[in-house]
Structures are given as structure tokens and as C-alpha cells.
Amino acid sequence: MKWLNRIFGRKEIPSTIAFDGIDAWLDMASGALFRGLSANASQLYGEIEKIRDRLKQNTSELRDAEPTEHIPAPIAKSGLTTRDKMVKHLNYLVEKMWIPTQTDYKTVLSFYRTTTSSMEFALAMSRKNIYCVRSLFPNEVEKVISNLDRLKILLNQLIAPLTEKESQIMNLDRTPEIVRSVKGIKSAIDREKGVVNDREEEAFALEKRIEVDEERMRILEEGEEWIQFKELETKLSSLEKELSMLESDVGKLFSPIDKALKLLKKQDETGRYTLALGERRVLSSILSSPIHVLDENLDDFLRTLQNIIEGDILPLKGRGREKAVRWINSLSDIEISSIKRRHDSPQSEIEETKGRLSNITILKDRREIERTIVSTEGQLTQLREGIERSKRHIVSLEENLAGEVRLLLEALENIAGKKIDVEFDFKTVQQVR
């Protein structure tokens, strides 16, 4: 008949439950699984309580018993010591054996495990020691052993409705923990989604701020003041390029006599020939920045240089000497004043243009807008990275949630012995199966 009862019991367990109703379903399922457990436990609790009381009386009698006189002293001494230990263990068993009032499977299982463990402690003595006590107090020990055996039988009868249902019991116990895990993960997902929503709203606000600043930039760059600024900037670039080319051309004027100039500098530095202060300044200008020589007395320097070369003061011989002299003569024919005018005119315009540019404040306004845009774009980048991290975290949490839901469904199906459909109040796990 057990198989028939089991079938009818399963029919009473609902096949569809709401997620929030799992606790009530577990109570119903445990009632169906362990039908008759309550009545069985109620009956056996009374019998176990009587055994406990008898064990308490047996223990007192054993504690107060006196050994017969014919027992040898060494055996009596050892037996008394072991008796005291046995009494202590039995008292521990009696004190720990609190008879419960509830008859659900958890209470029954807990009482069985606690009492069985206490019994094992009470009997944690070797057969030799028990024999030693029995030889001193045969009647008292026989009563104790008899009642302990009876207690063991009653405990086995108490646990009988739960035997062969270890798997269901295990899943009944672990299901609430799985439910808590599902709720915890779902709450974490909701929190993370809230973070994503908040960050996306903040990102939208930053994008709008950038659009406003870019519009300000567009209006600024279409204004007359900015157009004037760009024209002056273009003019300045052109003038600086023109001046640079002129300075390059001036430098090229002296490149044919570069060797002679460097030899002269070396002669002056070593004391083999001493230049006047003005001559030394002109020489230094030609070698370092030829354009500055336009402000010096170049003609006098060239004549001095020609005399030095022709006087064989410099180690220049043959064609090199003749080439240097010819180039110095050609330089003497160049109108330095016209070159200077060509230089001074763009230089003056450059200074004037820079002055006009410095008076235009629009560049400062544009730079401030640029800084604001760059700063906002940096914040937006960090925010988007945070959003992506949160989304990846949500995906990971949803995978964990799906795994926990699978465990939950497996546990419920193991308990009921049939497929159980759980109606979840969230969409994340709709496709778990």
C-alpha cells in the first residue's frame, strides 16, 4: 500500500506555483511526503519520554549502588571509576533529551540526530569497561542497557517515515536557501539596472551640454570678430614664413665663406689672432644668427676678413683662398640696407599683427569653450565605460540567476517527483528550461 499512498500524496502537491508562494508549497509538499509522520511522532514522543524518565531512575540507582563484598579490590576500584564515568555520560544523555512538541519532519529529524549523538557519547566506552561495571552492578547495568536498546528501537521507529527520502529532505532543506539566492541576485540585477538608468540619464545630460557648447563654438566661429582673428592669424603666419625665408637667404650669403669664418673664430679663441670687440660680435652673429648682422657694420668686418685671408693669417691655400676672397668682394657689392629694409618691414608688421591679436578676446572665449567640451567629453567617456561595466555585470548576474533557477526547479521536481512550473515575477529567467 505504500506505493499507492505515495501516488495519492504526490497528486496533492500542486504542479504550478508562484515564486512568492514557494514557502507555503514546501509546507504542503512536506505534509504530503511525510503523511502520518505527525501521528507517529506524537505517539513515540510519549514512549521516549517514559524511557528517558526510566533512564534517569536507572542512572540514580547505578550511581548509588554498592558492589558485593566478594569482588577483588583492584576490580572494584576500576569498576567504580568506570561506573562514575558511565553515570556522567548517562546524565548527559538524559539532560540533552528534551522531548519536542512539534511533529514536522525538521523537528523530528533534529531530535533524532541530537538524541542519537547523545547516545553514542553515553556508550563511548569499551566493552571491557562495560563488562567491568556490569560485574559490579549486574542488575543496574542490565536495566540501563535494556532501556537504551528500547530507546534505539523507538528512535528508529520515529525516523522510519523519513527513511529512503534523504534526497527529498535534502532538497526541502536547501530550497529556501536557493530561493534567497534567487531573490538576492534579482535584487542585485535591479540595483545594477537602476545604476545603468541613472548613468544613462547623466550621459544624456552631458551629451546635451556638449551640443550646446558646440553650438556656442559654431556661432563664435561664424562671427565677424573670429573671422578677423583668423585673417590676422593667417597674415601673421604668412609674414613669419616670409621673414624665415629672408633669414634663410641671409644665412646662405655667408655659407661660401663659412670655413674661413670658423677658422677665424678658432684663431681668435686660441690667441693666434685677436679680433676687436666689434669684429668679434659681427663674427659671432654671422655664425649663430646671420640675420642679426644686418644691424652691424658689415663692410668694415668684410674688409678686415679680406685682409686677414690675403695676409695668410688663416690656413687657407690655393683655390679655397681665392674663392673666399672673390665671395667677400661680391658681398661688398650687396646693398645691406635694402636687405635690412626687406627684413624690417615684415618684422614690423609681425609685431603690429601680434599686438592686434593680443587685443582680441574671442580666442580666450573659444579656448574656454574648448576646455569645457574636452572636460565634458572626458566625463562622458568615464560614464560610458561605467555603463558598459554595469551591463557586463548584469549579464553575469543574469547567468548566475538562470543557474540558480535551474537548481530551484530541479530541487522542486525532486521533492514532488514530477515537473513543477514556477511563475516568476520577473522576465530574466523565462527561457531557463
Q: What contacts 224, CB < 8 A, 6 or more positions away?
A: none
- For residue 426, what is the enclosing H or E element? none
Q: How far apart are CA 224 and CA 327, in angstroms?
A: 52
Q: What is the pTM assigned to this prediction? A: 0.60
Q: 70: helix, coil or strand?
A: coil
Grid coordinates representing 292 are 642679426
Mean pLDDT for the chain overall: 83
| DSSP 8-state class, residue 417 | T
Which own/partner pairs from 291-297 qualify as long-range (CB within 8 Å, at least 24 positions apart)? 291/246, 291/247, 291/250, 291/251, 291/343, 293/250, 294/250, 294/336, 294/339, 294/340, 294/343, 295/340
- For residue 108, what is the enclosing H or E element? helix 105-122
**What pLDDT does residue 174 have?**
92
Residue that the C-alpha cell 504550478 belongs to: 16
**What pLDDT does residue 6 have?**
47
**What pLDDT does residue 128 have?**
61
Summarize pLDDT for 7-27 with one digit per residue, the tens. 434 447 888 999 999 999 998
At how many degrees (to 10) do helices 22-33 and 166-222 cross?
A: 170
Q: What angle do CA 240, 243, 247 make, to 5 degrees?
A: 135
**What pLDDT does residue 289 have?**
74
The residue ranges of the chain whose pLDDT is under 50 are: 1-11, 126, 428-433
Q: How far apart are CA 356 and CA 230, in angstroms?
A: 12
Alpha helices in 34-72 (DSSP H): 37-64
Q: How far apart are CA 76 and CA 396, in angstroms?
A: 71
Q: Are 158 and 40 in contact (CB under 8 A)?
A: yes
Q: How far apart are CA 268 and CA 278, in angstroms?
A: 13
Nearest partner of 165 among 415, 411, 418, judged by Cα: 415
